[in-house]
Each structure stands twice: as C-alpha cells, then as structure tokens.
C-alpha cells in the first residue's frame, strides 16, 4: 500500500493547497491571494486518502442521518449508513430519540437493516441477545454459559444525536462538540427560513460513480452554471451571488428573475420567464418546462422579480402554505448553505431540499441523497404522511432538468480526476466553498504542513 505521505510529497501536499494560501490560512485570506488554490487530485481518487477519512473524519463529525419524520413516534427506527459505518436511530417508549452503533455486543452481528415502525425491543437475529429501546441489555439466551455477565456492562454503543429543523444528525464521537456549536452560525443565520415548519416527504438516493467530494462540490459553486446549466442564464445572476465564508460552513444567496451578467445583451422579460419556467416553473404554477407561454399579466409596478414572488406566493397559498412571513426577495431567491462535510441544505421559501453525499465502498463511488421537505400548511399540527425513501438508478433517474445535468456530469468529473497529468485541481475564489471543505478536512485528518499528525 502506498504510504499516505507519498501521496502528498511536494508539490502535491494536501496541507499546502497553494503557495499563496498556506496551511492554516483562513478562507478570508483568499481575497488577498494572487493566484489560484491548488488541491491535490489524489484526495478524490486515492484509497489511502479515503481510508484516512474513514479513520479521522466520519467517526468524529456531525452528519445528517435522516429526518424527524422518519422517527416520529415511539418504536420508529432508521438505519443510517456512511461507508462501512452503520448507525441505528430509535425513538424510545419514553419518546426520546437515541442513536446507537448498529452492532450486537455478542459477536458483532449487525442488528437492523432499513427502517420501520413499531419496534418494542432491539433483538439480534443471530443468537437473540436483546436490548430495550434505551439500549440496555435485557436478555441473553443460555446466559449461564457466559459465567458472570451483567446487563449493565453490555449496553449498545450510544452515539450523539441532535436535530435542526426536520434534520436529524448523529455523531459517533461522544466527545464531539454539541450540534448547535458545530453548525454555528448556520442555525441563527437560517432562522428566518423557519425550518421547524418543514416536514420530510421523501429521500431520493442515487448511487453515483464519483467520490463523495466530487458530488458535493457540484453543489458548492455556481461557476458551472454557464457550463452545464446554460438554460438558467436568462433567469439568474450566477456571477455576483453573495457567498458567506464562515470558518466551517458557507452560504450562497442566488437571486432569480434577473439575467446573468455573462449575457452581454441581457435578456428580455419573455426570456427571463422562459428560463425560469424551464428550470423551476412548478414553483410559480407553470409546471410544463417546455411550454412557458407568455409572461403572466403583471400588476401595476411589478418587476419580473416581484411578479415571480407573487406567483410563488399564490401557488403556495393554493396548497395552504402561507409565505406571508417572507419578503419578496426571500420568496423568489434561493438560500443555499454548505455545511461541512457533506450536506448542502437548499432552502426556498416553500421548501428545503437537503443534498447529501455519502461515501460508498471505494473512492470512486458515493450515494447522492436528496432529502425533500416542503413547508407545512399554516398552523398544521399533523406533519402529514411518512417519508417515502427510494433509490433510483443514475442512468434513468429523472430529477428535473438541472439535477439531471449535474448527475450526468459527475461520472465525467470523476473519471477525469484519474488522468495522470492532473496532479491538482485549480480553484478560483468563486469556488471558495470547495476550498473551505478542504481546509476543514485537513483539520479533521490532522494534515498540517503537508503531513498527518
């Protein structure tokens, strides 16, 4: 096996993304950097690097496991997997949500697979050891054969669990900081989006032939809009969208209803409308992306942006969802967060789509999950039907034009990373949320000055 250090001998040291932004620099320092940031390509392809992530990142970092709608009631359970790691989430009879490593303390059999309801005990199918839903051992068949074996000495291995809005997070490291601290300042920044009013309806999973970072990187910059989503250019400013650079997480605000400054001649209102309908028309009650029709009649003084805000409000109101708490800008625009390491919660006023990538069995495969959470009708006390979780094939999945374009490109993005001449990715300040992912990854992996501690 290649020594991990061999992967990053100069000039390919992961601890030195670029001469201009040495290890330990902040993302804010990028503004002063005269050149691009270089990231070693091996981070995306090397089994040794993936092994380092498995040892030092995934067992210690907060991850979205599922949503509260998957584990609403006592006896509800859900298995979350991340590479070989498996975590069991269970709502106890005391209504408390707990997380456990999904392993039997007898000989290590996996306890549960999938998800379900009505669980009253956690029983291993192999030799039938059994725990209660709080993780306490309560039954061992033929106990005498073990000699002295006390139930209190064999609880399930507990993990930390926390929630933000509808999202349930787990952390296998009992010494890790609380979730609220880890997510700072995202929770406060996103409070205006009222995440507690969102309920999950589905998780769509697409296995993809790319590294988990290749996958989430595609949702961490808008530089590629002019590459693979050109149909968006007439209805969004992909260049000047404001980004936030926090030490661990990031944010993008993407305005809709205005053309990209890349279009020298701008766009007519008809072109803005057609572009909006082609990419997200269902939001405004225009569900056929191929038939935008004319721009809907405008009220006095309405701009394209305020027109879109009104149409989105009307569409949501027709479904009982009141967007009165939001300004027109907040209704029309996209509010995207990038939370280290592997999720991008994408908020619209009427919904949350949390994009997540999880490692697969090799550095060249991952799972892309889209966790869909529409906003509940005003005053709803019932969170609605349970989520439906489906796995779709990348070749045949139809997730809308923009997602389809992202997914179709990811195979190419990963294959290219293997080519011998490409020692480094070359990143722009526009891609600072990707740089931030690498800076934080280095901290978890112990990469300082180019070497793990």
* Binder of residue 406, out of ligand FES, Fe ion, none (CB less than 5 to 8 A by kind): Fe ion
**Whole-number Cα distances in Å, 325 to 193, 227, 303, 332, 365:** 9, 35, 20, 13, 41
Among 71, 85, 104, 304, binds ligand FES (CB under 6 A): 104
Q: Is 443 in the site for ligand FES (CB under 6 A)?
A: no
Nearer to ligand FES, 50 or 104 (CB): 104
DSSP string covering 1-17: ---GGGGG-TT--TT-S
Least Å distance between CB 406 and Fe ion? Answer: 4
Name the minimum Å distance from CB 76 to ligand FES: 22
* C-beta neighbour count of 110 within 10 angstroms: 15
Q: Return the beta strands (E) in 9-116 as ranges.
A: 37-40, 63-67, 77-82, 85-91, 97-101, 115-116
Question: Which is it for strands 451-452 and 447-448: parallel, antiparallel or unpaired?
Answer: antiparallel
- Cα–Cα distances in angstroms (integers) from residue 58 to residues 82, 88, 118, 161, in the given order: 8, 15, 30, 15
Q: Determine the Cα–Cα distance for residues 39 and 230; give it in Å rounded to an integer.
A: 27
Is 107 near ligand FES (CB under 6 A)?
yes
Find out whether the peptide bond into 185 is cis, omega within 30 degrees of 0.
Answer: yes
**For ligand FES, which stretch binds (CB under 6 A), given 5-13, 103-111, 204-212, 435-443?**
103-111
Using CB positions, name the residue nearest to Fe ion: 406
Q: How far is the CB of 84 from ligand FES (least distance, A)?
A: 17
Contact of residue 146 among ligand FES, Fe ion, none (CB under 5-8 Å per partner type): none
- Binders of ligand FES among residues 115 to 144 (CB under 6 A) are 124, 126-129
Q: Does 431 bind Fe ion (CB under 5 A)?
A: no
Give the binding range for Fe ion (CB under 5 A) out of 28-36, 110-118, 184-192, 399-407: 399-407
What is the C-alpha to C-alpha distance for residues 36 and 10, in angstroms, rounded to an integer? Answer: 17
**CA–CA gap between residue 255 and residue 241 (Å, rounded):** 7
Q: What sign does the CA torsion over 257, 260, 263, 265 have? A: positive
Stretch that binds Fe ion, among 175-183, 283-291, 357-365, 400-408 (CB under 5 A): 400-408
Q: How many residues bind ligand FES (CB under 6 A)?
A: 9
Positions touching Fe ion (CB under 5 A) are 406
Positions touching ligand FES (CB under 6 A) are 104, 106-107, 109, 124, 126-129
């Amino acid at each position: 096996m290649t020594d991990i250090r061999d992967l990053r001998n100069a000039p390919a040291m992961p601890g030195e993304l670029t001469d201009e932004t040495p290890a330990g620099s902040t993302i804010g320092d990028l503004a002063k950097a005269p050149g691009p940031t270089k990231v070693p390509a091996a981070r995306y392809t090397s089994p040794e690097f993936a092994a380092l992530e498995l040892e030092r990142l995934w067992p210690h970092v907060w991850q979205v496991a599922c949503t509260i709608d998957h584990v609403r009631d006592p006896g509800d359970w859900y298995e979350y997997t991340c590479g070989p790691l498996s975590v069991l989430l269970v709502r106890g009879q005391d209504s408390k949500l707990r997380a456990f490593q999904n392993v039997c303390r007898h000989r290590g059999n996996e306890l549960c697979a999938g998800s379900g309801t009505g669980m009253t005990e956690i029983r291993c199918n192999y030799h039938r050891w059994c725990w209660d839903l709080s993780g306490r051992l309560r039954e061992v068949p033929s106990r005498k054969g073990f000699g002295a074996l006390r139930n209190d000495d064999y609880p399930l291995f507990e993990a930390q669990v926390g929630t933000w809005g509808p999202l349930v997070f787990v952390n296998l490291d009992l010494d890790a900081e609380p979730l609220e601290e880890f997510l700072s300042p995202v929770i406060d920044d996103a409070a205006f989006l009222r995440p507690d009013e969102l309920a999950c309806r589905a998780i769509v999973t697409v296995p993809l032939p790319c590294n988990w970072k290749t996958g989430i990187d595609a949702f961490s910059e808008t530089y590629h809009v002019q590459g693979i989503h050109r149909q968006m250019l007439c209805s969004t400013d992909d260049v000047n969208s404001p980004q936030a650079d926090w030490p661990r997480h990031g944010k993008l605000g993407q305005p809709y209803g205005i053309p990209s400054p890349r279009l020298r001649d701008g766009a007519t209102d008809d072109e803005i409308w057609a572009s909006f309908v082609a990419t997200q028309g269902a939001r405004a009650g225009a569900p056929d992306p191929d038939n935008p029709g004319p721009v809907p009649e405008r009220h006095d003084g309405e701009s394209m942006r305020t027109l879109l805000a009104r149409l989105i409000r009307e569409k949501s109101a027709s479904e009982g969802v009141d967007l009165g708490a939001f300004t027109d800008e907040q209704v029309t625009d996209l509010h995207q967060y990038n939370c280290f390491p592997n999720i991008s919660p994408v908020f619209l006023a009427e919904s949350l789509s949390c994009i997540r990538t999880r490692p697969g069995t090799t550095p060249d495969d991952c799972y892309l999950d889209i966790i869909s959470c529409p906003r509940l009708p005003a005053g709803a006390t019932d969170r609605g039907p349970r989520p439906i979780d489906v796995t779709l094939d990348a070749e045949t999945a139809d997730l809308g034009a923009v997602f389809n374009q992202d997914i179709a490109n990811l195979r190419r993005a990963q294959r290219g990373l293997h080519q011998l001449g490409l020692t480094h990715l070359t990143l722009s300040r526009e891609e600072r949320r990707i740089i931030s992912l690498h800076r934080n990854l280095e901290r978890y992996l112990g990469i300082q000055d180019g070497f793990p501690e």
